[in-house]
Amino acid sequence: MNDSEMQYTPNKNLIWLLLRPWILFPRVIYILLTILFFVLRLLFQGASKNKKVQKDLSKYLFNVITDLGPCYIKLGQALSTRPDLVRQDWLTELTNLQDNLPPFEHKIALKIVEKELGSSVNILFDEFPNKPIASASLGQVYKAKINNNYYVAVKVQRPNLEFIIKRDVVILKLLANFLAPFLPLNIGVGIGEIIDEFGKALFEEINYEQEAINAQRFAKLFRNNPQVIIPKVEKSLSSKKVITTSWIEGVKLKDRNEIEQNRLIPSSFIRTGVISGLQQLFEHGYFHADPHPGNMFALRGGDEKNGNIAYVDFGMMDSISDFDRLTLIKAIVHLFNNEFLLLAKDFQKLGFLSEDQDLELLVNPLKEVLGDSLGKEVGNFNFKEITDKFSKLMYSYPFRVPSRFALIIRAVVSQEGLALRLDPEFKIVRIAYPYIARKLLTDNSDEIVDILLEVIFDKNGRIQIDKVESLLNILFKDSVDINADLIPVANASLKLFVSEKGSEVRKNLLLSLIKNDKIELKDAEKLFSLLKETFSPVKIAKNAVKKIITPV
């Protein structure tokens, strides 16, 4: 297979399938009938309170999804991360879609390895098992041994994937475009584009040479972060259909009980996972788009606050532009401050709203949907309620989902689903919001300084004490170790103030003292009082002592 065949080209693929009606029509009929039979069974048995009936129904759903193939398995995997949207008994079965699918024949896997790597497994490896240890949508994984007890994970791709994915993505797009007008959700012109993004990501995912490059790039981004571990790629044992990496020995982030049985703390891994996800989006601009529990492991060696996690499977990765990254940070800041008109403008800049949309009309609807989200915990944050409200908002107003956000949304939804699955009481806002606050207060890049200035000063140059106080409260209110946040923020703020970049801050502070040709110290006094209270040496000393005497 040449490189051109490994690329997703929507129009070319559509023509290819339309010219093969003997492939198109039987497959469409089969998909529609399969879905119809499941819907009919769901109508008759879905409301049953009989556990056996529900268990049989969940198994039937699992079989339907696996039978339909990789494209539908990927959709099912997304559902398997959402305990707030899927019944618990169904969720248990859907979790098997992550890494417990029926494997393909071992003999075929051996032939693929030999063809791709040029030798038999007996020559290439010291030990190679006679069955896979895990089997997923696109490949199956073997735990092999090389170089005297060095264990590696060997992922071998399922046969004929490029044909199956090309066929099914085209059909999925045709069906989605046909059904879109009948769905109670307005996503503008984006549904076909979103499926194209999905198809593009799948084609990239079945190119294991690209996955190896992705893994190495991801590892480089986190090389200075001891909490995030990335397996090492063994280049000499990798190709387009086989990828070999160092073996990760850990507990998959899908079962709270299993994590606790290994004497590990679930919330510590959620914290590391959420923070690493935020870093990917808002610092690196390059992110893992498929962070479901089957692709993440809890490792030993962390502490009660920050657990060590490992990512695997780097086939579905994506980038976010600097413009989108900074606009998203601004949007979160505007959400902090309940500035819904500015939030609507952010949506417009990101392409969720047209340029001619009257944004004033969206202020109250946005406030109704997102206004109280800051105060909610993950356990109480009803994702379905929020998405239902947002669906109505998107149906009533000309919102649309830009295709470039398809994988970002998938990653965020999967990450939140992982947190909900491991610890429904975990307060995700206590990680996400302080992270942004800390970034604003410690990142001295020109772009972040500009955003910080928007928070500190209003359009007339006056100090916005309430917003500065809100920013500090978000950062320190629920901090496990206040000094770990206070000291870096104090150091970064001082460095910024005396640096060349801080000239804008100094200038605005001086201008804020002059009102109507008079020196006005009221705002400055309030700011000084707030900073004195926040960064009090006595407070820092007390917290240091408390940290020392409090047993872990």
Q: 238-259, pLDDT tens digit by residue? A: 999 999 999 999 998 877 888 9
With a CB cutoff of 8 Å and minimum separation 6, the contacts of 445 are: none
Residues 413 and 441 in one domain: no
21 lies in a domain? yes
Distances (CA, A) of 444 to 117, 448, 458: 47, 7, 20
Packing angle of the helix pair 161-179, 70-79 (nearest 10 deg)? 60
Highest averaged pLDDT of the listed ranges 58-67, 124-133, 326-335 = 124-133
Partners of 25 in the β-ladder: none
Q: Indicate if 491 and 473 belong to the same structural domain.
A: yes
Residues 450 and 505 both lie in one domain: yes
Q: What is the predicted pLDDT for the residue at 115?
A: 95
Does some domain include residue 75?
A: yes
Q: Is the pLDDT of residue 496 over 80?
A: no
Q: Are residues 284 and 416 in the same domain?
A: yes
| Residue 290 annotated in active site | yes
229 within domain boundaries: no
Residue 25 within any structural domain of the chain:
yes
CB atoms within 10 A of CB 540: 15
Q: Which SS3 state, helix, strand or coil, does residue 60 take?
A: helix
Q: Which stretch of 138-142, 223-227, 396-400 has the lowest confidence by average pLDDT?
A: 396-400
Better-scored residue on pLDDT, 510 or 483: 510
Same domain, 362 and 498: no
Alpha-carbon distance values, 163 to 25, 60, 166 (Å): 16, 26, 5
pLDDT at 26: 95
Distance CA 41, CA 46 (A): 7
Give the tokens for residue 143: 């735990």
Structure tokens belonging to residue 13: 């693929």
- Give the domain extent around 47: 3-99
Instruction: Give 310's DSSP letter.
Output: E
Confidence (pLDDT) at 30: 94
238 backbone dihedrals φ, ψ, rounded to 5° = -130, 150
Write b or e for each residue in 316-350: b if 16 or more Cβ atoms lie within 10 A of its Cβ, otherwise e: bbbebeeebbbbbbbbbbbbbbebbebbbbbbbbb
- Say yes or no: 411 and 497 in one domain: no
Task: Looking at the structure, tell me whether residues 302 and 418 fall in a common domain.
Answer: yes
Rounded mean pLDDT, 489-515: 67
Closest by CA position to 274, among listed 136, 423, 171, 480: 423
Picking from 99, 130, 150, the residue at the C-terminal end of a domain is 99
Please indicate, yes or no, whether residues 319 and 440 belong to a single structural domain of this protein: no
Close Cβ partners of 469 (under 8 Å, ≥ 6 residues apart):
530
- Please check whether residues 311 and 388 belong to one and the same domain: yes
Domain boundary among 44, 64, 99: 99
User: Where would I find the beta strands (DSSP E) of 60-149?
Assistant: 134-135, 139-146
Model confidence at 514, pLDDT cuts 50, 70, 90, reads low
Query: 77, 99, 121 — which closes off a domain?
Result: 99
269 with 377, same domain?
yes
Residue 436 lies in a domain: yes
Residues 350 and 490 in one domain: no
Q: What percent of the chain has pLDDT over 90?
A: 32
H/E stretch holding 246 reads: strand 242-246
More confident residue, 27 or 440: 27
pLDDT(492) > 70 = no
Higher pLDDT residue, 551 or 75? 75
Cα-Cα-Cα-Cα dihedral sign, residues 172, 173, 178, 183: positive
Query: pTM to 2 decimals?
Result: 0.81
452 lies in the same domain as 417: no
- Tally the domains of the chain: 3
Q: Does residue 534 form part of some domain?
A: yes
Q: Does 125 fall in a domain?
A: no
Q: What is the mean pLDDT of residues 145-170?
A: 93
The answer to whether residue 108 sits within a structural domain is no
Query: What does the pLDDT read at residue 45?
Result: 84
What confidence score (pLDDT) does residue 552 get? 43
Residue 53, pLDDT score: 86
Q: What is the mean pLDDT of the chain?
A: 80
Alpha carbon distance, N-terminus to C-terminus of the chain = 56
Q: What is the DSSP letter of 294?
A: G
Question: What single DSSP character describes residue 248?
Answer: P
- Six token digits for residue 499: 């640096």
Using one digit for the tens of pLDDT, what is the confidence trace for 346-393?
A: 999 998 888 888 889 888 888 877 765 555 544 455 444 555 566 666
The continuous run of DSSP H or E covering 23 comes out as: helix 21-45
| Identified catalytic residue from 99, 168, 290, 313 | 290
